[in-house]
Amino acid sequence: MATYSRLPGSVALITLHNPPVNALSAAVRQGIVDAVQRALKDPKVTSVVICGQNGKFCGGADIREFAGPMLGPPLVPMIHAIEAVDKPVAAAIEGVALGGGLELALACHYRIAHSKAVLGLPEVTLGLLPGAGGSQRLPRLIGLTAALDLITTGRHVSAAEALKLGVLDQVTDSNAVDLAVEFVRSVAGQPLDSRRLSTLPCPCPPDVDSLLDKVMSKVRQRSRGALAPVACVRALRAAASLPYAQGMEKERELMATLFNSGQARALQYAFFSQRVVGKWSLPSGARWDNSTARIISKAAVIGLGTMGRGIVVALALTGISVVAVETQEKQLAEASRVVPAMLQREAGRRRLATPPGVISFSSNLQDVSEVELVIEAVFEDMSLKLQVFKHLSSVCRPGTLLCSNTSGLDIDQLAAVTQSPGLVVGMHFFAPAHVMKLLEVVYGPRSSPEAVATAMQLGKRMGKVGVAVGNCPGFVGNRMLKPYLEQANFLLEEGATPRQVDEALEEFGFPMGVFRMSDLSGLDVGWRIRKEAGLTGPGVESTRTRQGRRYSPLPDQMCEAGRLGQKTGKGWYQYDGPGGRVARSDPWVHIFLETYRAEHGLVARSITLEEILERCLYALINEGFNILQDAVAAGPEDIDAIYVFGYGWPRHRGGPMFHADQVGLGRILQRLNQHSHPDVPHLKPSTLLRRLVAAGSPPVQKWREFINKERVHSQL
Ligand SMILES: CCCCCCCCCCCCC[C@H](O)CC(=O)SCCNC(=O)CCNC(=O)[C@H](O)C(C)(C)COP(=O)(O)OP(=O)(O)OC[C@H]1O[C@@H](n2cnc3c(N)ncnc32)[C@H](O)[C@@H]1OP(=O)(O)O
């Protein structure tokens, strides 16, 4: 709702009430409409201030309402009515003015903000555009070029930047409502025509068409199939070229298309998934709201390879003192040189002051004795990690949290060699660790709620999306990747080329297909894991069935030929020398595949794009259902957040489990059954998937509840 009060001196104050962010729900819109009417009718009122309760102006339209029928007064006429008021109206912006919240402020004649306020039109991140006049008013206020930047990126700006851009009239370090009240009193009675943004022309550069074309091609390239950024540019083209009323018509038309698109639903689901995973719960009953996190101020990182260096930077950026340990002298010397530069660069990128002197480098493990938390990031080798954990357990003071950055090894085995297994958790970062948003926090059967809460809290401080996951080989992300990679290799055996597979996946929206990705991360990573698992190596027969399952030795043979990917200049593609980045098809690979097929009596067939997507993605999704069934992830949102934030799953497709819901569970089941083969267990449909289909395929938002019920009734 919104409340109305009359302040001494003829100012009406309208306050939005809808915790936590005063989103513009039907009740709030109704409250505003009524309050504005009252202010208009009251002859004693000469000016109006609109503000939000609890120091937050407004977080925009109420996203939860988008899923249901539109009730209450519509936003667009409400906003027009405010602009048309013949008494000065000011927005007093504290906290946030985002999306519809900023559009409400743009309808006001003046905008006064607190210096800590944040403003923006982030609709594009929800698959929408600023559809309450924002796409037409903002460019009229700050010019086309700046509006294109804000609206197509959806980025939040500080009050200082908003003042510089001309969005705000005044910024204060004191109370913004008091200043706004004082301000509107001083301007009461003055003409308002020039303050009504809808009446102004849109300031454009002389080469407006070339600017719009340039931005359009940039967003198309960046957004890989996302509709909203393209629609935003179209709306801004209308603002630049059409009178306001026609621009609004275009805005409405574009908004209607976006509103009904699956992409908007996917992006809104992704918004809420990100928040759901923060409210973690473990099978033991420990939860985010009943477990206490420790506040860490001193930490250590063991191992300064690529991952360790990134983790040091991520910790240091939060202001934590870090002891960075590397026992190999050469690696230590290089890290001591490179890490400070990385820190400075990243701090600059985030517009932070570089925290001075928080990192100390050492080659001695004894130097971690005083820290509160250690993150081990040594080579992915169990015997080495066990050695490190044993050592840490004796060196660190009692109560120190011991975390491993393993990407899939058994956390419980590591915990078992320490004196306090409850204080051991996995903190699985993704490369580059100071940039990538995802953090898998892996709990073992003995990890304490305090250890999980601390790792999750630390992740949040580092700006990560932390997802609590159970302990199993590969955890969630890498476990699901295995069947995906496996299918991609099988497709090569059957007649596809690396480029064909990659193009299908890139067309779907992944930034990189599976083979370009392998080349980037190095083919030897998986090779080493397969050797450890006894799947390849000296003495293992070169057949296409290993350990009772279909197996493709193709990637092993690539490694044996010295083709490890970008680092060797050759992998599934060829590059301009070692470290090259531009992937070109390599005739060598085509001959290699033909020879391989001939040796194994395989006849290449033509494979459709649809089959590539189905086999790769449905195999991955099926493993997602197995993971839910095994309670390794608490809900589909956890899996989806992992894939969106760590594995390049296109955000506008919500995540693999959301995608399964969109495609239809019945169809996924039917296609898995069709592709399934006795020696490819990953394609055998999971029991959970079957049970969901049998229950009428409830929507993804209901799966968590369904799984819990099935578990109670021992059906899973
Ligand atoms: C049928 C055809 C019709 C076609 C015609 C269509 C015409 C329709 C006209 C509609 C016009 C709409 C116009 C408008 O342009 C659209 C919008 O405004 S979309 C919304 C834009 N706003 C945002 O994107 C802001 C989203 N929120 C945030 O970024 C952050 O939440 C925050 C505000 C910066 C606060 O961050 P934090 O402090 O970290 O807190 P949380 O993020 O954890 O949030 C706390 C809590 O609040 C919930 N929440 C936040 N914002 C909203 C919101 N806008 N609506 C609903 N709920 C919101 C969030 O989910 C958390 O909830 P909890 O998890 O605690 O339950």
As a whole number of angstroms, the distance between CA 661 and CA 638 comes to 15
- For residue 113, give the DSSP letter: E
- The whole-number average pLDDT for the span 437-458 is 97
CA torsion 99-100-102-106 (nearest 10°) is 140
What residue ranges do the domains of the chain occupy? 2-259, 298-473, 496-599, 609-712
Q: Model confidence over 292-333: pLDDT tens digits? A: 999 999 999 999 999 999 999 999 999 999 999 999 999 999
Residue 125's alpha-carbon distances to 130, 391, 580, 658, in angstroms, are 11, 46, 33, 17
Q: What is the H or E stretch that residue 550 is in?
A: strand 549-550
Contact 159, 114 (CB under 8 A): yes
Ligand 1 atom with minimal separation from the 103 CA: 15
Is the pTM above the cut of 0.90?
yes
pLDDT computed for residue 357 by the predictor: 62
Ligand 1 centroid distance, CA of 59 (Å): 6
Ligand 1 atom with minimal separation from the 98 CA: 22
Which of these, 377, 367, 372, 370, lies nearest to 401 by C-alpha position?
372
Backbone angles phi, psi at 170, to 5 degrees: -150, 150
Look at ligand 1, atom 10, and give the residue with the nearest C-alpha: 131
Contact 235, 135 (CB under 8 A): yes
As a whole number of angstroms, the distance between CA 558 and CA 546 comes to 18
pLDDT computed for residue 462 by the predictor: 96
pLDDT-derived band at 542, boundaries 50, 70, 90: confident
Length of the chain: 716
Angle subtended at Cα 555 by Cα 552 and Cα 558, rounded to the nearest 5 degrees: 130
Q: Model confidence over 390-407: pLDDT tens digits? A: 999 999 999 999 999 999
Which of these, 416, 470, 399, lies nearest to 440 by C-alpha position?
470
Ligand 1 centroid distance, CA of 62 (Å): 5
Contact 551, 523 (CB under 8 A): no
Domains 496-599 and 609-712 equal at CATH topology level: yes
Sheet holding 47-52, edge to edge: 2-7, 11-16, 47-52, 89-93, 110-114, 170-172
Question: May I ask the CATH class of domain 2-259?
Answer: alpha beta
Q: Model confidence over 30-86: pLDDT tens digits? A: 999 999 999 999 999 999 999 999 999 999 999 999 988 989 999 999 999 999 999
Look at ligand 1, atom 45, and give the residue with the nearest C-alpha: 20
Ligand 1 centroid distance, CA of 101 (Å): 10
Ligand 1 centroid distance, CA of 272 (Å): 9
pLDDT computed for residue 647 by the predictor: 96
Question: May I ask the CATH class of domain 298-473?
Answer: alpha beta
Q: Model confidence over 231-281: pLDDT tens digits? A: 999 999 999 999 999 999 999 999 999 998 899 999 999 999 999 999 999
DSSP 324-355: EE-SSHHHHHHHHHHHHHHHHHHHHHTT-PPP
Could you say which of 83, 94, 123, 450 is catalytic?
A: 123
Residue 169's alpha-carbon distances to 117, 246, 578, in angstroms, are 14, 28, 54
pLDDT-derived band at 485, boundaries 50, 70, 90: very high
Ligand 1 atom with minimal separation from the 122 CA: 24
pLDDT-derived band at 595, boundaries 50, 70, 90: very high
Ligand 1 centroid distance, CA of 295 (Å): 29
Pocket test for ligand 1, best of 18, 21, 93 (most atoms within 8 A of CB): 21
CATH 3.30.1490.480 given to domain 496-599: no
Could you say which of 65, 83, 94, 103 is catalytic?
A: 103
Ligand 1 atom with minimal separation from the 20 CA: 47
Question: Above 0.95 for ipTM, yes or no?
Answer: yes
Look at ligand 1, atom 32, and give the residue with the nearest C-alpha: 59
As a whole number of angstroms, the distance between CA 143 and CA 114 comes to 23
Ligand 1 centroid distance, CA of 63 (Å): 5
Pocket test for ligand 1, best of 22, 54, 58, 63 (most atoms within 8 A of CB): 63
Ligand 1 centroid distance, CA of 344 (Å): 33
Which of these, 70, 87, 69, 81, lies nearest to 33 by C-alpha position?
81
Q: Which residues contact 318 (CB under 8 A, 6 or more apart)?
A: 461, 462
pLDDT-derived band at 606, boundaries 50, 70, 90: very high
Ligand 1 atom with minimal separation from the 101 CA: 18
**103 included as an active-site residue:** yes
pLDDT computed for residue 532 by the predictor: 86
Q: What is the H or E stretch that residue 454 is in?
A: helix 449-461
pLDDT computed for residue 453 by the predictor: 98
As a whole number of angstroms, the distance between CA 456 and CA 295 comes to 11
Ligand 1 centroid distance, CA of 66 (Å): 10
Look at ligand 1, atom 61, and give the residue with the nearest C-alpha: 275
Look at ligand 1, atom 42, and give the residue with the nearest C-alpha: 275
Considering only 81-90, 348-357, 365-374, 487-496, which range has the smallest mean pLDDT? Answer: 348-357
pLDDT computed for residue 541 by the predictor: 86
Considering only 98-107, 417-426, 507-516, 532-541, which range has the smallest mean pLDDT? Answer: 532-541
* 681 vs 135, residue with greater confidence: 135
CATH 1.50.10.10 given to domain 609-712: no
As a whole number of angstroms, the distance between CA 365 and CA 367 comes to 5
Ligand 1 atom with minimal separation from the 129 CA: 15
pLDDT-derived band at 475, boundaries 50, 70, 90: very high
Q: Mean pLDDT for the chain?
A: 96
Q: Residues near ligand 1 with C-beta < 6 Å?
A: 20-21, 23, 59-64, 75, 96, 98-100, 103, 122-123, 126, 128, 130-132, 134, 255-256, 259-260, 275
Q: Greatest CA separation found in the chain?
A: 94
